[in-house]
Amino acid sequence: MTPMDKYDPKTVEGSWYKRWEAAGYFAPQGNGRPFSIAIPPPNVTGTLHMGHAFQHSLVDSIIRRQRMLGDKTHWQMGTDHAGISTQLIVSEQLARENLKPMDIGREAFIDRAWQWKAESEGTISTQLRRMGASLNWQTERFTLDEGLSRAVLEVFIRLYEDGLIYRGKRLVNWDPVLETSISDLEVVSEEENGHLWHFKYPLENNQGQFLVVATTRPETMLGDTAVAVHPDDVRYRHLIGQNILLPLTDRVIPIIGDHYVDQDFGSGCVKITPAHDFNDYEVGQRHQLPVINIMNTNASLNDNTPEPFAGMDRYEARQAIIKAMQELGLLADTEDHKMMVPRGEKSGVPVEPLLSDQWFVKIKPLADPAIKAVESGDIEFIPKQAENIYFAWMRDIRDWCISRQQWWGHRIPAWYDPDGNIYVGASEEAVREAAGLAPDLQLSQDEDVLDTWFSSALWTFSTLGWPDQTEALDTFHSTDIMVTGHDIISFWVSRMIMMSLRFMHEVPFKKVYIHGLVVDSEGQKMSKSKGNGLDPMDIIDGISAEQLVLKRSSNLLQQRVREKIEKSTRKEFPDGISAYGTDALRFTFYAIATRTRSMRFDLKRVEGYRNFCNKLWNAANFVFMNTSDHDLSGPSSDSIADTWIQITFDKAAHTVNQAMETYRFDLAAKAIYEFIWDEFCDWYLELCKATLLSDKSSDEQKTAARVQLLATLEKILRLTHPFMPFITEEIWQKIPAGMRQHETIMLAPYPQAGQQDETANNKVTDDINWLKQVIGAVRNTRGEMDISPARPIPLIFYNGTTEDKRRLNAYTELLSAIARPESVTWLNTGEALPVANVQLIGEMQLLVPLAGLIDKHAELQRLAKELDRLANDIKRSSGKLTNPNFINKAPEDVVFKEKLKLADFEQALKELTLQKNRISDL
């Protein structure tokens, strides 16, 4: 057979995915146990980022392994419509044509959005395919498609009828750029520098007397409806019930007493603006204060404010008010002040609490069972710690504002008549009929759409056909596990649990695996705006430094930031990124998937695993070179190495399966890496060479080695396939057809450890470990003494046991092939010894005579160091053993082991001291 071409991920990964998909391997099949996972639906118009790539790599390994274990697996594919993001993008597209959404109207806008969806939806699907994700594409869904929209409608109507959805005027987080309400979770607060302005508010009845209030947002004063003091505050409590003349307006507002006020902060007086502050709103409710909304939806001041402020932008108004107050002599003080500024996650501008009509889900009745489901263990979080995030959120949950003032999404199925009566139903006809409305009664549908998460919350069952009772729903719900990040627990996990319990009467998933965040090599969160993100596709395909700089900085608005990013990018990736391939990238993800909350992503790691692919590739090449053109059907006889590699493989398979059962992807990856590289390549292949290249081995032995080489390689490939799907399939297809019973490795059985005969196994592994130790000792001597591996050296075995002698006799051939001795001599205890370098293997000494080979000085130095170490060990060990407390209280086996250890140390010390004396006598 001709050697395989050099490992190149591009050619290896080229066509397999298409073939798998075309063959229908991703669809559920067989009669095994159903096993299902629903993908957290990515944004249909989005692209795959590192977090996605990581997450889906984890899921794919789970799915592929379960499939190979014979389960009927279903990995639900689908995307969501990402209401706000998509609306924003389409609006930006319009802006480039100097158009506003209003200019083209709702219908045309939605058309544009669908158009954009059609254009961009292929991107993330293609990227998922490049990652090798074995998703079931045949049942792909989209949150706005017909079936899922029907589920949304059904849920909305039923919740409304059950009194769990209501409409009300409430204070919500308002994004003045997007002009919509947004969720608490979509607000990010960061500390910023601001000011605290102290205003003097004149008392109504005491001319010339003032209360001083402090504010970070002067513009809201026009909406003040009270000043609050603490009811116990001796400075002010007598003023409670009196009034303030609110400056710049003609309004008179009361002084109220409320425990909300902190007497020690500022002046101890607080202005109360119920329409523009969440806390003030509550104070206002308690005291029945009027709620005066002073802002328009774009955060300019409205007609409830006096001239000249009406119509001004909020920040323009702020300056104007400060100036006006100053001119009135009512500005007492201005000081610098650090404060948290809440900004809209998507728009980046400060959000406003705004009073508006919104739809809400009454959440408590949904949350209570959802909390119980986790408390009772019906749903298990992995790691367990993550439950805290869930409970913290759920136990303090507030009604969920589900209406968004947008066009792209599920329109709220509510209609209003001219009197403002609300009718909820599947369609206008439906509500007319249900309510028996006169045909000529004017009805208008609510303009708003639902929060995207409302539809995502139904994901695990809506994608399977609900509200229809489909076979898929019956088979695959509840799903087995949800894999997601901790940042999404409150957004989504909790809402799925609530909705599934309510409508399916079962949990949406039995387990939730919460993974950490992929961060850059500096520990920073990867983000577009920071320009520190990596595109998984660039790691797979490679990218030049120039293109990478361009890609990272093109989205950045500020020149300064752009330059900074360019500099750091050029520093970190001076030569760009080379093409590492999907398999290496995936393996990196498994290796870093530890239990920590964040994982630094380092390309060096990817490089290491690309090298690992190369190693596997070359090992396969070796196996094929040595097995093709040979008849493997003849009689065979396993050598110790052949038996050993089978045992060792079984152990590795056991470790991998165990790790996967506990979702320790890192341990699974480690076990695979170590078995392939350290055991199969470094030892087994070398031992096979000894057998295959020697005239002394029989045909039976050679056949056994060849069979075992192929069989082990084949098992390795199956064990590794869930993690590195491409390279394993590529190599597996080169295995002689007789050794594989399936058309694809994807459907071949996953290796599991069989029954083990511990005693027999230990005998084998002990022998191989002995051999490894002897070879290690020889290599060590060569290394320490700078003896070329090419130069044969005489080996003398001294003071060995009969077991040592048996092993030496049995494995001289193997030993010789790897250690390359000039001669092998066995000396019995008491026989005369040459002056030599000595290494201890248990009680046995391995000697390499000094003559002409070894530097006396260097050897003495080495011995001194060794003796030093032994002296230390003896001191510690005997210290323990002379401690009566240790002898009495420690378990027997621990004491016994310690005694053995000490004996070994002392024996070694004795031998090496003798040796040292002999050499220094030279």
Residues 99-138 that bind RNA (CB under 7 A): none
Q: How far is the CB of 626 from RNA (least distance, A)?
A: 7
Residue ranges in 680-699 that form contacts with RNA under rule CB under 7 A: 681-682, 685-686, 689, 693
Q: How far is the CB of 785 from RNA (least distance, A)?
A: 9
- Give Cβ neighbours of residue 397 (< 8 Å, ≥ 6 apart): 363, 364, 367, 494
- Single out the residue of 632, 901, 907, 918 in contact with RNA (rule: CB under 7 A): 901
Nearer to RNA among residue 551 and residue 689 (C-beta)? 689
- CA-based torsion, 91, 96, 101, 104: positive or negative: negative
Nearer to RNA among residue 126 and residue 594 (C-beta)? 594
Q: Using an 8 Å Cβ cutoff, are 513 and 483 in contact?
A: yes
- Give Cβ neighbours of residue 121 (< 8 Å, ≥ 6 apart): 44, 45, 79
- Single out the residue of 126, 209, 216, 801 in contact with RNA (rule: CB under 7 A): 216
Stretch that binds RNA, among 79-87, 93-101, 175-183, 773-781 (CB under 7 A): 773-781
Report the distance separating Cα 515 and Cα 383, nearest Å: 9
Q: Tell me which H or E stretch contains 122.
A: helix 101-130
Residue ranges in 247-286 that form contacts with RNA under rule CB under 7 A: 260-266, 268, 270-271, 277-279
According to the binding rule CB under 7 A, does residue 495 interact with RNA?
no
- What are the DSSP calls for 627-648, one per residue? HTTS--SS-----HHHHHHHHH
Q: How far is the CB of 891 from RNA (least distance, A)?
A: 5
Report the distance separating Cα 340 and Cα 194, nearest Å: 9
- Single out the residue of 885, 892, 921, 922 in contact with RNA (rule: CB under 7 A): 885
Residue ranges in 373-432 that form contacts with RNA under rule CB under 7 A: 385, 388-389, 392, 396
Residue ranges in 195-214 that form contacts with RNA under rule CB under 7 A: 196, 213-214
Q: How far is the CB of 161 from RNA (least distance, A)?
A: 30
Q: Using an 8 Å Cβ cutoff, are 580 and 543 in contact?
A: no
Residue 1 CA: distances (Å) to CA of 316, 373, 571, 626: 80, 60, 45, 9
Nearer to RNA among residue 299 and residue 599 (C-beta)? 599
Two tokens, residue 200: 């003097």
Residue ranges in 615-634 that form contacts with RNA under rule CB under 7 A: 615, 618-619, 621-622, 625
Nearer to RNA among residue 490 and residue 799 (C-beta)? 490
Report the distance separating Cα 342 and Cα 349, nearest Å: 8
Contacts with RNA, 855-884, as mask; x by CB under 7 A: --------------x---x--xx--x--x-
- Single out the residue of 56, 74, 217, 410 in contact with RNA (rule: CB under 7 A): 217
Q: How far is the CB of 778 from RNA (least distance, A)?
A: 9
Query: Phi first, then psi: what are they for 438, rounded to 5°?
Result: -65, 140
Contacts with RNA, 720-759, as mask; x by CB under 7 A: ----------------------------------------
Q: Alpha carbon 257 to chain centroid distance?
A: 49
Q: How far is the CB of 772 from RNA (least distance, A)?
A: 9
What is the bridge-based pairing of β-strands 34-38 and 72-79?
parallel
Q: How far is the CB of 300 from RNA (least distance, A)?
A: 20
Q: How far is the CB of 51 from RNA (least distance, A)?
A: 14
Q: How far is the CB of 871 from RNA (least distance, A)?
A: 12
Nearer to RNA among residue 466 and residue 612 (C-beta)? 612
Q: Tell me which H or E stretch contains 548.
A: helix 545-553
Q: Using an 8 Å Cβ cutoff, are 525 and 519 in contact?
A: yes
Stretch that binds RNA, among 160-168, 366-374, 472-480, 783-791 (CB under 7 A): 783-791
Residue ranges in 598-617 that form contacts with RNA under rule CB under 7 A: 598-600, 602, 604-605, 608, 610-611, 613-615
Q: How far is the CB of 783 from RNA (least distance, A)?
A: 3
Report the distance separating Cα 112 and Cα 845, nearest Å: 82
**DSSP label at residue 236:** T
Q: Give 291: exposed, middle or buried? Use CB within 10 Å, 0-12, 13-18, 19+.
A: middle
Nearer to RNA among residue 166 and residue 677 (C-beta)? 677
Q: How far is the CB of 388 from RNA (least distance, A)?
A: 6
According to the binding rule CB under 7 A, does residue 6 interact with RNA?
yes
- Single out the residue of 209, 298, 783, 896 in contact with RNA (rule: CB under 7 A): 783
Nearer to RNA among residue 123 and residue 263 (C-beta)? 263
Nearer to RNA among residue 385 and residue 544 (C-beta)? 385
Two tokens, residue 326: 């100053």
Angle at 583 between CA 582 and CA 586, to 5 degrees: 80
Q: Using an 8 Å Cβ cutoff, are 670 and 591 in contact?
A: yes
Residue with tokens 């056991």: 654
Nearer to RNA among residue 776 and residue 834 (C-beta)? 776
Q: Using an 8 Å Cβ cutoff, are 341 and 334 in contact?
A: no
Nearest to 16, CA basis, from 653, 583, 638, 624 = 583
Residue 203 pairs with which residues in a beta bridge? 244
Helix (H, G, I), strand (E, B) or coil at 463: coil
- Single out the residue of 635, 891, 921, 922 in contact with RNA (rule: CB under 7 A): 891
Residue ranges in 318-357 that form contacts with RNA under rule CB under 7 A: 337, 339-340
According to the binding rule CB under 7 A, does residue 215 interact with RNA?
yes
Q: Which amino acid is at 766?
A: D
Site size with RNA, rule: CB under 7 A: 95
Alpha helices for 786-855 (secondary structure H): 802-819
